[in-house]
């Protein structure tokens, strides 16, 4: 396997509902020159529910993917979905941490002639891989259509940021913010970066779910964002598909498109919106493309503070 | 020379040793070791009866060497050496085996193993002790001058105590004025007296004292020597203002066109000029040019301060001055640094404008602060109607600091009082435990409760600006689990004060290294003994006082400053100090003059004697570390009390097979 070829676990969402994530991931991979080799015969990670229903089979279900990846010679796997990422990462970690669990899982895997030695396969989120291996500087160099004038709210969700953050901070990560800025976009201050989108709460208590969704949409709109940028199919689904339901429930009329970060990178790389899966979303994101300007907008002068105003603490780099 | 006669004493230390080690058996067994004429066990060797036993036995059995198997030599080596000396035996013919820290305490569940280990340790000491030589301790004169590092309240107190007793003090402070954190405060708990009113008299005393040389805007660069005779190099940074001409009139900073956020004395909440005096009561009163922000130093133009100075005191050519001091003792009072609240991003400091730190609030409420004491929001004008005070920010939290910062409960109560008094705002205190432990503190806590402050027990999980209801709009919402109510709570407020914890100074490690003291796992300097010797360190002649030793409030800092001064005065009055005679010496007959040891010595204690072509150890500088002994290719350097013979004998002793009583080597 060459350095720029990654073993890839797409997860179920990307095959179905979140096809735009898959399409845009493939498109930017082609453009940036890395390959994604899908693990042969992978299966569902069990999403967020299975672990609370029956833990051992849930671990075994996830571990099967790790075992397959290891058998197919992978030292690391790249995962675009936050839930898949968390499950794979957690299984690898807990099998090592609790050897008894590890041996039970391996007993189950043995039925399919598989075995997984925890620690063999490093589980990586697609965003972390792009930020680390490709890097913000190279993305900036490769940018053909800078996202001038676009105001974006970076939304990390809860699964990737916590509990073992792969980014700079569990509570207020800034890794994706820096990337979006490098692509020319303006990142708005967004307090609910790592707030939960509700996950599958829509199926359990719709009112609760709509409240959570509404909060995030409102916060993004209040911050002046043109769109939310996500890195998780679940978050994208909740915020996009249920936005209309939330509007109805709260008697609001928000129209905040919800993009995958890969779509945003793709636009900046100059790829066609169709190739990036634009148009598949419920809240039309194509309007964003018209907002992109040819020249960087003049730097907004910070609101004039009164003469008596006290200085803000200077943020460390 | 007649045969050596060794006495062995095995201590029970109550249950500390005897609870695990079979001390009686160890003593009986020791009787069989070579040269041992008497071996006893005793409940407390350190008690006077234990010591007297040694003295009697030395006389009765004509003992030539003594071994005590008990605790660490740090505790009682001196006790037993003195007992030997009283009976006429040279104290260096005594050896200690540590069977408490090295056996009973570390193997509490293995009686047999611990007993065997104790036997091996006793055997090592018995084998070694017969090779020990009588040594005479060295006496050196003590210089009466003292260096105090740090001009906060602890350092000022220490300096004044020593100076008032008639001895000279060099008080070194790296900022342009002494005063430390206390100079930034408005009121002090629990009496609410004005911080400046009680501090500035001490500052002026220190500034004008005939026995104190004040070295502000100065830092210690190098320390050599040893107790009684330290050589200290201090860099006095160039103020660019001639202190002999300046009158402190203030024209220069009034006219200076450059305004800079003052991150030191205003905690980042206010501004100062590029030429500035930190605060009105600064000692000394002279300003200093901040050359990083001064236009003249950046572009070569401006010179405004020079133009307006009525006494021509501005001197842009001024250079740093190097001052070499000789002192007998050193007191470190380097203070603390405030926990950086940005490390807890969910509290929003630096992101949400009306989140303040405790130090910012001190400036906000201080009459000489940026708002002249008006408690207002970051916009500089709006008075808050509800204020949250969050306790334990960065303290008692294993993500940041595990220690309790000791002052935050009380300063938070003080803040609550000041907010209510000055603004009439509703105050919520979010605490995890209230710890008002000193005199008058509990009473102050009750007073603040009676004044109407609300106390919510629970650690704050988040401070957010995202409203969930109309009454939360435009507010900061403090989210926490109220552990007394058993409910999640969201409290909307206008202003949040984070009671940030106390941390060691950013350069505490370097300071510790320079002065030869240690830093504990929380980063504060380590005292010689946490209970019985809290201001001394493991380095003779170096003392610590105040918050550099651990988080503490003003009364405790003052007490430690005075305590350290008392210790220093004690050694000065002895006029001489006794140094351990454990030193290296070079056999000059056999020295080849290769000079390898010269550069190895960490204390620069080895000189090369050109005319003889040999190296020689300066016994006053040598600390007996043994580096040169190991390095010498001709093996002609001897470490007194750690000779090859002694160490090999000790190894032979410890290698005994305690089960067969035969040396391990013999068994092989």
Each domain of chain B, given as residue ranges in start order, spans 6-135, 146-237+322-335+505-576, 251-308, 338-503, 584-639
Residue-level pLDDT at A2: 45
Nearest beta carbon to residue B378 from set A219, A307, A312: A312
B370 near A CB under 8 A: yes
Least confident residue range of A143-147, B105-109, B291-295, B576-580 = B576-580
Thinking of the domain B338-503, which architecture would CATH place it in?
A: 3-Layer(bba) Sandwich (3.50)
Q: A313: which chain B residues are within 8 Å (Cβ-Cβ)?
A: 268, 342, 349-350, 357
CA distance A20 to chain B (A): 30
In this predicted structure, the answer to whether residue B667 has a pLDDT above a threshold of 50 is no
Phi and psi angles of residue B110, each rounded to the nearest 5 degrees, phi first = -135, 80
Residue B666 has pLDDT above 60, yes or no: no
Closest residue in chain A to residue B357, using alpha carbons only: A313
| B382 within 8 A of B364, measured Cβ to Cβ | no
The minimal CB distance from A308 to the residues B268, B340, B381 is found for B381
Note the CATH number of domain B6-135.
Answer: 3.40.50
Equal fold, B146-237+322-335+505-576 vs B338-503: yes
Q: Any chain A CB within 8 A of the CB of B271? A: yes
> Considering only alpha carbons, which residue of chain B is nearest residue A317?
B342
- By the CB < 8 Å criterion, does B384 face chain A? no
Task: Tell me, yes or no, if A220 comes closer than 8 A to chain B by beta carbon.
Answer: no
Residue A272: count other Cβ atoms within 10 Å of its Cβ.
10
Interface of B with A in 330-369 (CB under 8 A): 340, 342, 344-346, 349-351, 353, 357, 364
Contact B269 A310 (CB under 8 A): yes
Whether residue B665 has pLDDT greater than 80:
no
- Indicate if the pLDDT at residue B117 is higher than 60: yes
The alpha-carbon gap from A251 to the nearest alpha carbon of chain B, in Å, equals 15
3-class DSSP assignment, residue B417: helix
**What pLDDT is stored for residue A74 in this prediction?**
93
B151 close contact with A: CB closer than 8 A: no
Please give the pLDDT value at position A164. Answer: 72
**Closest alpha carbon to A99 in A112, A117, A122:** A117
pLDDT average, residue stretch B139-143: 90
Q: How big is the CA angle at A19 (ends A17 and A25), to the nearest 5 degrees?
A: 140
Query: Which residues from B are below 8 Å from A215, CB to CB?
Result: 466, 468
What proportion of chain B, given as a percentage, has pLDDT over 70?
A: 99
Rounded distance between C-alpha atoms, residue B508 and residue B500, angstroms? 19
Nearest CA in chain A to B374: A308
Q: What is the pLDDT, as a whole number, of residue A168? A: 78
| pLDDT tier, B664 (very low <50, low <70, confident <90, very high otherwise) | low
**Average pLDDT, stretch B5-16?**
96
- Residue ranges of chain A with pLDDT lower than 70? 1-3, 302, 315-317
Closest CA to B365 of B473, B243, B270, B246: B270
Which pLDDT does position A3 carry in this prediction?
Answer: 53
In sequence order, what E strands does chain A have? 5-8, 35-38, 76-79, 122-125, 151-154, 186-187, 227-230, 258-260
pLDDT at position B9 is 97
Q: What's the CATH number for B584-639?
A: 3.30.70.20
Class of domain B146-237+322-335+505-576: alpha beta
Cβ A308–B468 below 8 Å, yes or no?
A: no
Residue A167, pLDDT score: 76
Q: What angle do CA B153, B154, B159 make, to 5 degrees?
A: 95
Tell me which chain B residue has its CA closest to the CA of residue A192.
Answer: B466
SS3 A188: coil
Residue A311 contacts B, CB cutoff 8 Å: yes
Chain B residues touching A168 at Cβ < 8 A: none
Residues 6 or more apart whose CB falls under 8 angstroms from that of B267 comprise B184, B338, B357, B359, B360, B362, B363
Distance between CA atoms of residues A203 and A39, nearest Å: 30
Measure B83 CA to nearest chain A CA, in Å: 55
Residue A1 is predicted with a pLDDT of: 40
The strand pair at A258-260 and A227-230 is best described as parallel
CA angle in degrees (0–180, nearest 5) for B292-B547-B181: 45
> Looking at CA atoms only, how far is residue B352 from chain A in angstroms?
9
A217 contacts in B (CB within 8 Å)?
Answer: none
| Residue A112 token pair | 């399919």
A306 contacts in B (CB within 8 Å)?
A: 379-381
Average pLDDT of the residues in B315-337: 97
CA distance B605 to B377: 60
Contact call for A191 and B379, based on CB within 8 A: no
Q: How far apart are CA A24 and CA A285, in angstroms?
A: 14
Q: How many angstroms separate the CA of residue A295 from the nearest CA in chain B?
A: 29
- Average pLDDT over chain B, rounded to an integer: 94
pLDDT tier for residue B175 given thresholds of 50, 70 and 90 = very high
Instruction: Determine contact, residues A254/A248, Cβ cutoff 8 Å.
Output: no
Residues contacting B129, CB < 8 A, separation 6+: B6, B65, B66, B67, B93, B94, B95
Check CB contact of A3 with chain B, cutoff 8 Å: no
- Domains of chain A in sequence order: 5-125 (1.20.1050.140), 136-291 (3.40.50.11810)
Q: Which of A173-187, B285-299, B590-604 has the lowest mean pLDDT?
A: B590-604
Q: Report helix, strand or coil for B351.
A: coil
């Amino acid at each position: 396997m060459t350095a720029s070829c990654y073993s890839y676990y797409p997860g179920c969402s990307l095959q179905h509902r979140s096809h735009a994530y898959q399409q845009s991931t493939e498109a930017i991979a082609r453009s940036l020159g890395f390959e994604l080799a899908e693990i042969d015969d992978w299966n569902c990670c069990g999403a967020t529910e299975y672990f609370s229903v029956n833990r051992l089979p849930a671990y075994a279900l996830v571990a099967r993917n790790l075992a397959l990846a290891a058998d197919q010679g992978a030292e690391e796997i790249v995962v675009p979905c936050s839930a898949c990422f968390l499950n794979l990462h957690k299984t690898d970690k807990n099998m090592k941490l609790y050897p008894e669990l590890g041996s039970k899982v391996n007993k189950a895997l043995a039925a399919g002639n598989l075995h997984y030695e925890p620690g063999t396969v490093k589980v990586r989120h697609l965003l972390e891989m792009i930020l680390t291996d490709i890097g913000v500087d190279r993305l900036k160099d490769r940018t053909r259509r800078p996202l001038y004038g676009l105001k974006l709210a970076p939304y990390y969700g809860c699964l990737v940021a916590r509990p073992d953050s792969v980014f700079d901070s569990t509570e207020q990560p800034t890794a994706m913010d820096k990337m979006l800025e490098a692509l020319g976009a303006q990142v708005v201050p967004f307090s609910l970066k790592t707030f939960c989108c509700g996950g599958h709460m829509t199926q359990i208590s719709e009112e609760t779910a709509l409240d959570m969704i509404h909060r995030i949409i409102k916060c993004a709109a209040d911050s002046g964002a043109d769109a939310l940028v996500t890195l998780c199919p679940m978050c994208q689904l909740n915020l996009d598909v249920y936005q209309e339901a939330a509007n109805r429930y709260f008697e609001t009329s928000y129209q905040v498109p919800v993009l995958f970060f890969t779509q945003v990178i793709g636009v900046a790389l100059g790829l066609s919106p169709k190739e990036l899966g634009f148009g598949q979303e419920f809240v039309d994101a194509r309007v964003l493309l018209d907002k992109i300007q040819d020249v960087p907008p003049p730097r907004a002068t910070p609101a004039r503070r009164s003469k008596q105003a006290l200085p803000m603490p200077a943020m460390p780099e | 020379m007649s045969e050596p006669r060794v006495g062995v004493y095995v201590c029970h230390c109550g249950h500390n040793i005897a609870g695990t080690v079979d001390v009686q058996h160890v003593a009986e067994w020791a009787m069989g070791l070579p040269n041992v004429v008497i071996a006893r066990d005793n409940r407390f060797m350190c008690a006077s009866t234990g010591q007297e036993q040694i003295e009697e036995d030395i006389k009765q059995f004509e003992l030539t060497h003594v071994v005590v198997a008990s605790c660490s030599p740090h505790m009682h080596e001196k006790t037993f050496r003195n007992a030997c000396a009283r009976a006429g035996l040279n104290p260096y013919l005594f050896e200690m085996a540590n069977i408490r820290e090295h056996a009973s305490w570390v193997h509490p569940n293995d009686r047999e193993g611990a007993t065997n280990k104790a036997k091996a340790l006793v055997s090592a000491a018995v084998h070694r002790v017969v090779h020990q030589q009588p040594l005479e301790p060295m006496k050196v004169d003590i210089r009466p001058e003292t260096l105090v590092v740090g001009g906060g309240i602890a350092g000022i107190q220490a300096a004044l105590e020593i100076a008032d007793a008639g001895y000279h003090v060099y008080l070194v402070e790296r900022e342009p004025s002494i005063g430390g954190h206390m100079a930034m405060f408005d009121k002090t708990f629990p009496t609410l007296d004005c911080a400046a009113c009680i501090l500035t008299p001490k500052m002026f005393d220190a500034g004008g004292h005939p026995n104190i040389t004040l070295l502000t805007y100065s830092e210690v660069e190098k320390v050599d020597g040893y107790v009684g005779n330290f050589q200290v190099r201090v860099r006095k940074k160039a103020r660019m203002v001639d202190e002999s001409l300046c009158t402190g009139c203030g024209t220069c900073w009034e006219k200076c066109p450059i305004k800079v956020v003052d991150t030191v004395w205003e905690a980042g909440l206010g501004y100062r000029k590029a030429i500035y005096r930190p605060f009105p009561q600064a000692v000394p009163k002279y300003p200093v040019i901040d050359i990083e922000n001064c236009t003249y130093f950046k572009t070569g133009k401006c010179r405004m301060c020079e133009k307006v100075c009525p006494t021509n005191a501005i001197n842009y050519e001024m250079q740093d001055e190097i001052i070499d001091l000789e002192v007998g003792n050193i007191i470190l009072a380097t203070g603390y640094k405030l926990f950086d609240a940005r490390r807890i991003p969910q509290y929003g400091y630096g992101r949400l404008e009306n989140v303040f730190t405790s130090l910012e609030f001190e400036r906000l409420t201080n009459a000489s602060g940026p708002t002249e004491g008006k408690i207002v929001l970051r916009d500089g004008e709006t008075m808050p109607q509800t204020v949250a005070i969050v306790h334990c920010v960065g303290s008692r939290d294993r993500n940041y600091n595990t220690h309790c910062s000791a002052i935050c409960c009380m300063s938070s109560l003080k803040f609550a009082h000041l907010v209510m008094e000055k603004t009439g705002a509703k105050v919520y205190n979010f605490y995890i435990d209230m710890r008002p432990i000193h005199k008058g503190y509990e009473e102050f806590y009750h007073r603040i409760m009676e004044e109407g402050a609300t106390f919510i027990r629970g650690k704050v999980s988040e401070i957010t600006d995202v409203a969930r209801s109309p009454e939360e709009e435009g507010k900061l919402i403090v989210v926490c689990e109220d552990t007394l109510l058993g409910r999640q709570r969201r409290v909307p407020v206008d202003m949040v004060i984070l009671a940030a914890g106390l941390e060691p100074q950013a350069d505490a490690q370097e300071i510790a290294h320079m002065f030869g003291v240690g830093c504990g796992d929380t980063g504060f300097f380590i005292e010689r003994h946490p209970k019985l010797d809290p201001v001394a360190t493991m380095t003779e002649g170096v003392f610590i006082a105040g918050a550099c030793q651990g988080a503490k409030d003003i009364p405790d800092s003052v007490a430690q400053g005075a305590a350290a001064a008392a210790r220093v005065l004690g050694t000065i009055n002895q006029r001489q100090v006794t140094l351990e005679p454990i030193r290296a010496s070079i056999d000059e007959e056999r020295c080849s003059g290769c000079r390898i040891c010269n550069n190895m010595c960490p204390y620069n204690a080895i000189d090369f004697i050109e005319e003889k072509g040999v190296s020689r150890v300066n016994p006053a500088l040598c600390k007996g570390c043994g580096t040169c002994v190991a390095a010498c290719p001709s093996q002609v350097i001897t470490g007194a009390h750690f000779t090859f013979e002694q160490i090999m004998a000790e190894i032979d002793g410890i290698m005994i097979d305690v089960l067969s009583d035969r040396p391990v080597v013999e068994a092989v």
